[in-house]
Amino acid sequence: MSEQHSKARHRRSRTALAVGVPLALTASGVLAYGTDFGLLGSGAQQQASAATAAAPAWATATADGFASVNSLGQNGTYGGRDGQIVTVRTQADLEKYATAAEPYVIVVAGTINMNPVGKEIKVQSDKTIVGSGTSGHIVGGGFFLGSGVHNVIIRNLTIRDSYQGVWNDKDHDFDAIQMDGAHHVWIDHNDLRHMADGLIDVRKDSTNVTVSWNKLSQNNKTFGIGWTENVKTDITVHHNWFRETEQRNPSTDNAAHAHLYNNFLEDAAGTGIKSSYGNYSRGKTKMILENSYFQGMNNPVTKDGTATVVQRGNVFSGTSGRNESGGTAFDPKTYYAYTLDAAANVPSLLKSGAGPRSSIGTTTAAASTKAATTLTVAKDGSGQYTTVQAAVNAVPANNASRVVIAVKPGTYRELVKVPANKPHVTIQGTGSSRKDTVIVYNNAAGTPKPGGGTYGTGGSATVAVEADDFQARNLTINNDFDEKANQNLSGHQAVALRTAADKVFLDGVIVGGDQDTLLVDTAAKDKLGRVYMRNSYVVGNVDFIFGRATAVIDRSVITLKKRWDGTSAGYVTAPSTAANRKGILIANSTVNGDVSDRSFYLGRPWHAGGDASLDPQTTVRNTTLSAAIRTTPWTDMSGFSWKDDRFAEYKNTGAGAGSASSDRPQLTDAQATGQEIADWLGDWTPTAS
């Protein structure tokens, strides 16, 4: 089809059935769903258990993007969280609860074959429809959201195979998800493929829609937005993987605000499906297109004469044909907060994170089998506690099950310590962005303590975690110690987060400071302490990821920051790893920042206390390095040579990457197989809970 296809080719029969289903995900972005999916999926008796404050996190999640905006009498999108949780395995039960007037969280725990083929269940307001692990399949049909339907979440489902054998099918309007005049809808973490018509259709002034973390594939008319003369639709499309889809990826017609970011559009070579075009802005659409990755696409970005496309930070690899931009649009941050991933990381990020997520392992002890207790924190007094520490204090000593401390948006200037006798604690921001909830303080190593002495480096931490099986999600932890104003103070190390525990999971957070931002420690030199950080940001300048823990930083952004005096010089890591232990692994990430070229080292060996028995280790692999990284990226520290310890790279890219030399060790392919994330984490599979 020509890129200049007419509006008539996009229009649909007014009498045809339609499909629409919205989904919810935690605001952190790529949240793995955890064991609660598995528990519900395996429990046939849980047909109508009441949703309470202790409900699984996915049952109470709220949307990000335009679906989070307060409008049309609906403040955000939270689906059926106020209703019962029911598990369904038949079409009759799915229809019963999806079409009910009451709110429900509906867990699809098996494959449902729609009868007749093409059936589209008419979902009503206030519903969450979610797959149990990867077992929730809707085959041969889908969902429809009609005029006025609102507050719907659809997530973690596979919706597939209504295809009737005709590629450009004009007789079978069998979509996966369609909405006509709906609002506040979230479609998240689904696998949508091989339908007779569209995978997602957002039509007839539907608005306040967010589409995130989905895999869309094997389809012709993939994702259409508009079919209206009005200019009302506000839509966010982020972190979706379009693979082997011919057209409408998406096509956006007369959208008031269309924000597309961190999507991966892939036309694989040697297949029978050839892309016609990628992102299309039509009519009076105002589109912002940011940090997306286009691989092999024909006509990757197109616009007509009346539409707007503002492009920022996109990557085009092997593309051909039209790649257009023009006009002025809008600033998405005036509507909601969001954080961009680097475009170069998008393919790997989405290949591992898009689509339905299974239960990825179990946590230790009874925390994995008992419902979590939720404690709420709000500065304005609307929660159970007004400080985070007060909620931590309320956790029973030696608690056997998960306690979630849900922190409402705000800035909490306080010190937080989770002691060793309070395991299985999650601190989670409840805002639409990790920037909405901030825990901050300003102690430094040399700051005087009220009782005498100084805090020291470890004691300066804004948040200190000494309890095993700790998780932090969707928040910011900062140390805002002002070095410039405290030049007379000895000891400028100022830790934002200190972990001294095992099985610490940091998911979708920002950890910010200057010197010694993130201290990954262990309870003792002979104790194992594992930390897994993903989809997060670490900000600093000197030794700002340091310590003796076995720590993985995966799919994250490491942001280099200038010193207090405006100069650029620093060190990313300072491991103090014990011999025969794994140290710091940075994988699938990006290292960048507004600093001078060739001014930062990747690391140096910290032999804490002059301990020559230590064997510090940092490996940086499959990571994009900016030009800020020195051509000789490792250096000595306190008389210890980095060449006597374990520092290496593997298949890094970007202006700061370099080839193997005596000053720049590179792992061989064989060595790299023993330095994977799983080698660091051992028998622990981090599970969001």
Q: Look at residue 46 in the predicted model and tell me its pLDDT.
A: 32
Q: Which of 543, 554, 615, 645 is the catalytic position? A: 543
Q: What is the CA radius of gyration of the chain?
A: 25
Q: Helix (H, G, I), strand (E, B), or coil: what is residue 62?
A: coil
Q: Look at residue 478 in the predicted model and tell me its pLDDT.
A: 98
Distance between the two ends of the chain, CA-based, in angstroms?
Answer: 46
Q: Look at residue 183 in the predicted model and tell me its pLDDT.
A: 98
468 touches 502 (CB < 8 A) = yes
The DSSP line for 325-378 is -BS----GGGT----PPPGGGHHHHHHHHSS--------SGGGGTSPPEEEEE-
Q: Look at residue 676 in the predicted model and tell me its pLDDT.
A: 93
Q: Provide the residue type at 99 as one letter.
A: T
> Residue 381's CB: how many other CB atoms inside 10 A?
8
Catalytic residue check, 304: no
514 φ/ψ sector (left φ>0, alpha ψ -120 to 50, else beta): alpha
| Sign of the four-CA dihedral 560, 561, 563, 567 | positive
Per the prediction, the chain carries an average pLDDT of 88
Within 378-519, where are the H helices?
A: 388-394, 456-459
Among 78-92, 308-322, 540-554, the minimum mean pLDDT is found in 78-92
Q: Provide the residue type at 353 as one letter.
A: G
* 54-111 confidence digits (pLDDT tens): 345 566 678 999 999 999 999 999 999 889 999 999 999 999 999 999 999 999 999 9
Q: Which of 253, 516, 521, 554 is the catalytic position? A: 516
CA distance 177 to 181: 13
Question: Could you tell me the pLDDT band of residue 616, with boundaries at 50, 70 and 90?
Answer: very high
Instruction: Give yes or no for residue 9 having a pLDDT over 90.
Output: no
Question: Could you tell me the pLDDT band of residue 355, with boundaries at 50, 70 and 90?
Answer: very high
| Sign of the four-CA dihedral 188, 194, 196, 197 | positive
| Residue 644 backbone dihedrals phi, psi, to 5 degrees | -90, -5
The partner residues of 281 in beta bridges, in order of sequence, read 252, 303
CA distance 554 to 536: 8
For range 125-143, the mean pLDDT:
94
Q: Look at residue 338 in the predicted model and tell me its pLDDT.
A: 87
Q: Look at residue 517 in the predicted model and tell me its pLDDT.
A: 98
359 touches 32 (CB < 8 A) = no
Q: Look at residue 169 in the predicted model and tell me its pLDDT.
A: 82
CA distance 37 to 39: 5
CA distance 49 to 40: 10
Catalytic residue check, 171: no
Angstrom distances, CA of residue 473 to CA of 414, 534, 547, 578: 18, 10, 22, 29
For range 312-320, the mean pLDDT:
96
| Sign of the four-CA dihedral 633, 636, 641, 647 | negative
210 touches 236 (CB < 8 A) = yes
Closest CA to 155 of 178, 122, 182, 177: 177
22 touches 152 (CB < 8 A) = yes
Closest CA to 481 of 465, 497, 460: 460
Instruction: Give yes or no for residue 367 having a pLDDT over 60.
Output: no
pTM exceeds 0.95: no
125 touches 150 (CB < 8 A) = yes
CA distance 574 to 558: 14
Q: Look at residue 18 in the predicted model and tell me its pLDDT.
A: 24
687 touches 359 (CB < 8 A) = yes
CA distance 145 to 160: 18
472 touches 429 (CB < 8 A) = no
Among 8-17, 371-380, 558-567, the minimum mean pLDDT is found in 8-17
Q: Look at residue 58 in the predicted model and tell me its pLDDT.
A: 62
Q: Look at residue 60 in the predicted model and tell me its pLDDT.
A: 64
Q: Helix (H, G, I), strand (E, B), or coil: what is residue 270?
A: coil
Among 326-340, 466-480, 651-665, the minimum mean pLDDT is found in 326-340
218 touches 195 (CB < 8 A) = no
